[in-house]
A and B are shown apart, each in its own frame.
Chain A
Amino acid sequence: MQVNENFEPVIVAFCCNWCSYAGADLSGTNRLNYPANVKIIRVPCSCRVNPMFILRAFQRGADGVIICGCHPGDCHYTSGNYFTRRRITLLYSMLDFLGIERNRTRLEWVSAAEGAKFAAVMNQFVEDVKKLGPNRRLEDLRCRKQ
C-alpha cells in the first residue's frame, strides 16, 4: 500500500482514571513527546470501555483506537482489567472476521508511573496506524464531516 506522508490519523485513546490517565499526565509532566493525533478520553476503569465505543469510533472515522488500563492484578477495582482483556480479545476476533486490520485496535497496560511507556506506546501506535493508512472499511461516510 502506498504510504501517504501527509496522512494524519485520528486516534482515540481510552485511559483508565487510576493508572493510564495518570501515566499520560506523567508523560506530560516529564515533557515527553507523542503525536497530537492521540486524543484521550477518561474512563473510570478500562472495563468501562464498551466494545461499542470502539466500533463507534471506527464508524465515525477514527483510524485507530487504543485502550489503556492498569497492569493485570493492579486494577483499582480489583478485577476490571481482566474483564477488559477478555472483551478486547473477543473484539479482536470479531474485527478479524470483519477484515479490519488487527493493528488498528490495541490494548496496553500503563501504570501511573509509566509516563515514558505511555509516550512510547503512543508513538509506536501512531506509526503503526500511519502505515495502515486511513480506516476506510468501517468508516460510515454519512458521518463524515464535509
Chain B
Amino acid sequence: MQRIGVFVCHCGTNIAATVDVKAVAEALSHEPGVVVSQDYQYMCSESGQELVKNAIKEHGLTGVVICSCSPRMHENTFRKAAASAGLNPYLVEIANIREQCSWIHKNIASATDKAVILGKAAVAKVHLNAPLTAGESPVVKRALVIGGGIAGIQTALDIAEAGFDVDIVEKEPTIGGKMAQIDKTFPTLDCAACILTPKMVEASQNERITIHSFSEVSDVKGFVGNFTVTIKKKARYVDETKCTGCGLCTEKCPMKKVPNEFNMGLDNRTAVYIPFAQAVPKVATIDPNYCMMLKNGKCGVCSKVCSVGAIDYKQTDRFIEQKYGAIVVATGFNPIKLDKYDEFAYSCCPDVVTSLELERLMNAAGPNGGTLLRPSDKTHPHTIVFVQCVGSRCDDEKGKPYCSKICCMYTAKHAMLIREKYPDTEVYVFYIDVRTPGKNFDEFYRRAVEQYNVHYIKGMVGKVTPKADGKIDVQASDLLSNEQLHINADMVVLAAAIEPDKTARPLATMLTTQMDTNDFFTEAHPKLRPVESATAGIFLSGACQGPKDIPETVAQASAAAAKAIGLLCKNSITCNPCVAHSDELMCNGCSACEKVCPYGAITYQDKEFRMPDRSTAIRRVASVNPAVCQGCGACTVACPSGAMDLNGFSNSQIMAEVDAICK
C-alpha cells in the first residue's frame, strides 16, 4: 500500500491569496493512499524541505506530492530533498498551483477547486511512479574528427591540447582541405598557406593526433561516449611508414597527363603524386586510374627509383576499428558544378572560370606560377568580369536556395588583388546585393570600390558568349542606370555557390544525425546549441553545418572541440532515467518505433523466449539504449502493441492524471 505525503505551499501570499491552501491540504488528505497532508509558508525554504524530509522518515512515505510553483522551478530542489531523506527522487511529483493556478485566477473558490484537482492528478500519478535510477555509461577518452580541413585541424589541435587522443580521418591524400587551395584570405589579404601550413605541421607533429589520410569512415556503431568506428584506409600503393616524400618517383613517372585536382584541373600531374609541396603527410600516392603498372602491369619506374622501397603495387584497402567517446564532423564544402548554366558558357569556354579556379591561377604555386594569365592562350587579361550569386539564392533545381555567404567577400578580394597587381586591368563585378556583415568586412568591400576602382554594377549577367577573336561578350543588365550592357571581356569569373561535400549524406546516415534539405548537418538548437548535433556525442565543425568563412569556421571548430572536451573529461555520463523502454513480451518486432526515433536509440535484437507450451522461440524485439534515448516519447505512441512506454511519463500515469482531472 502506498503511503503518500502531500505538502501544500503558501508561497507567502503568492498562492495563499487566491487559493485556500488549508482547504486544499484538507481535501487531498482524503485521497487514497495519502497519509499526511500539510501546508507551509515556504515549502522550498530550508525548513520547508526539512518538513518534507521529516515526514518521509516519520511516515515511511512511498511518494511525495508538492503543491507549489512550476516544476520547472523547484522540481530538482524537492527531488534532492527526497533523496537525502532516503526516498527515490523520482517518487516526487509537483502540482503546479502557482503559475498555472493562483496567478491566473482571481476567484478564490474556483482557484481552490482547480488546485485540489491538480493535486489529485499529482496524487493519482505518484501512485504509479516507479523508483528510477539514472544509469551511467563510461566514456572512451578518444575523439574522432572526420575531415582534415581547417575546421578538422583546429578541432583536433584543441582537443589534443586538452590532453585527449584525436584521430583525423581525411579522404584526400593530404590534410589541408579547401584552405590549402586558397591564395589569399580576406579581409587581411595574408597568404592562406602561410597561416595554414604551420597548423598542418603542428597537427602532424602532435603526438596525441593520429592522421588517417586517404581514408574514409565506413561504419559507425555505438552511442555517446562509446562509438565504435570502422575506418577504411584506401590503398595508396605506397607504404606510408617508409616513404620520405622525396618526390623522386613523381619526377620520373612517365604518366604525366593526369588532371591535377589540387589545381582544379588547370594543369597536369603524374600518376604517382604528392598533391602539393607542403602536403601532410608528405607521402606519395599512386592514382590507380592512371598508373600503367596498376592498369596493365607494364612500367614499375617508381618502384625502381624509390630508394627506400616504399612502393607496393599489391597494397589493398585496409580496415581498422577504433573506439571513440566523441565524434566531430568537419566534412566541409565544395563549389557546385556549373555545367547546367549554359548561359555562362562555363563548359565551352576555358576563360570562364570559377572563383576557386581563379585562386589557383593567381597562386604562386599554381599552374602559372602566380601570374594571372588566361587559361586559353596564356595572355594577360585586361577586362575581367565577376558574376556573383551563380547558383546561390536560386529557387530552381539548378542552384541552391541559400546564400553562400563567402562569395561577396572573396570576389571583393579577387577584384582588389587583380587591381593591385595589374592596374591596367578593368574589373567589373555584377552583384544582386553585396552582403558583407563581419568585422572589417564592409570596409574591405568599400576599399575595393573606393581605392581600387573596381566597377560594382547592380545587376546580373544574362548571357556570356565566347567570340571568334578570343574575347568574351558579356551581356548584362545595369539596374541602376536601367540599361543593358555588353562588355567585351577577356575573362569571366563565376562565384559558384557552395554545397556540402557529397560524402556528408551517407555519413549522416551512419551517425544517425540529421541534415536539412540542402545536406547541411542540422545543429541541436539553431541559437543555443550551434555546434552539437541532435545526436549526443556528435559535434559539428565548419562548413558542413552551413556556409562559413575561415574565421567563423575556426571559431566553430574550437567551439566543437570545447564541447567534445567537455564530454571526454567525464569518466562516465549520467543518463536521464526518464527514457523509453520496451516490454519484450508485448513487442511484436514491427519496427514502427525504430522509424520515428530521432536519435537512433532503438535497435532490434533476436531473443529467445519460452513459450506457454514450454518450447522456446526466437523473436525479434525492440530494445532501447538508455544512453542514447532522450525521452521524447514518440515511439510510445507509434508502438501498435503498447510494448513501448516512457519512464516518468508512462501511459498509465498520464491516463491516471486524465482521469483525476475529468472526474
Contacts and interface: CB of A to CB of B under 8 A. Distances in A.
B602 to A, nearest CB: 14
Given A44-B632, A56-B658, A62-B662, A78 B598 contact: yes
B298 interface: no
Contact of A44 (B96, B514, B638, B649): B649
A146 B165 CA distance: 69
A79 B632 CA distance: 10
A60 B662 contact: yes
A135 B281 CA distance: 74
B614 to A, nearest CB: 35
A33 B105 contact: yes
Interface string A27-48: 1110111101001111111011
- At the interface, is chain B mostly helix, strand, loop or mixed? helix
Interface residues of A, number: 45
B636 to A, nearest CB: 7
Given A56-B655, A78-B534, A12 B661 contact: yes
A107 to B, nearest CB: 14
Of the candidates B96, B522, B534, B657, the one having the most CB atoms from chain A within 10 angstroms of its own CB is B657
A50 B104 CA distance: 28
Interface in B625-663: 630-634, 636-638, 646, 649, 651, 654-655, 657-659, 661-663
B103 interface: yes
B100 A32 contact: no
A36 B522 contact: no
A127 to B, nearest CB: 16
A50 B663 contact: no
A126 interface: no
Contacts of A24: 99-100
B662 A57 contact: yes
Contacts of B203: none
B634 A77 contact: yes
B117 interface: yes
B632 A48 contact: yes
B143 to A, nearest CB: 24
Contacts of B106: 33
B111 interface: yes
B10 interface: no
A134 interface: no
Contacts of B99: 24-29
B522 A78 contact: yes
B241 interface: no
A93 B658 CA distance: 23
A62 B596 CA distance: 30
Nearest to A40: B100
A17 B638 CA distance: 20
Contacts of B634: 45, 47-48, 77, 79-80, 83
Contacts of A36: 101, 104-105, 107, 110-111, 113-114
A126 B387 CA distance: 58
B71 interface: yes
A68 interface: no
A41 B96 CA distance: 10
A48 B636 contact: yes
Contacts of A48: 632-634, 636-637, 646, 649, 654
Given A40-B96, A43-B649, A87-B637, A60 B114 contact: no
A78 to B, nearest CB: 5
B102 to A, nearest CB: 8
Nearest to B533: A78
A41 B103 contact: no
Nearest to A83: B634
Nearest to B71: A42
Contacts of A39: 114, 117-118, 121, 661
B191 to A, nearest CB: 42
Interface string A1-38: 00000000010100001000110111111011110100
A10 B598 contact: no
A145 interface: yes
B98 interface: yes
Contacts of A45: 632-634
Interface string B563-592: 000000000000000100000000000000
Interface string A46-77: 01111111001100111000000000000011
Contact of A60 (B72, B121, B598, B663): B663
B114 A77 contact: no
Contacts of B616: none
B341 to A, nearest CB: 31
Given A21-B72, A29-B99, A41 B661 contact: yes
Contacts of B663: 60-61, 145
Contacts of B655: 53, 56
Given A56-B655, A87-B637, A80 B598 contact: yes
Contacts of A78: 514, 522, 534, 598
B70 interface: yes
A41 B121 contact: yes
Nearest to A31: B103
Of the candidates A24, A25, A76, A119, the one having the most CB atoms from chain B within 10 angstroms of its own CB is A25
20 contacts: A12-B658, A12-B661, A12-B662, A21-B70, A26-B99, A28-B101, A28-B103, A32-B104, A36-B105, A39-B114, A39-B121, A44-B631, A44-B632, A48-B634, A49-B637, A52-B651, A57-B662, A60-B658, A83-B596, A87-B637
Given A40-B100, A60-B662, 13 more contacts: A10-B661, A12-B661, A24-B99, A28-B100, A36-B101, A40-B96, A45-B633, A48-B633, A57-B658, A60-B663, A80-B598, A119-B104, A145-B663
Interface of A: 10, 12, 17, 21-22, 24-29, 31-34, 36, 39-45, 47-53, 56-57, 60-62, 76-80, 83, 87, 119, 143, 145
Q: State the 7 A-B residue pairs at the shortest beta-carbon distance, nearest first.
A: A28-B99, A48-B633, A60-B662, A77-B632, A28-B103, A25-B99, A36-B110
Interface of B: 70-72, 96, 98-101, 103-107, 110-111, 113-114, 117-118, 121, 514, 522, 534, 578, 596, 598, 630-634, 636-638, 646, 649, 651, 654-655, 657-659, 661-663
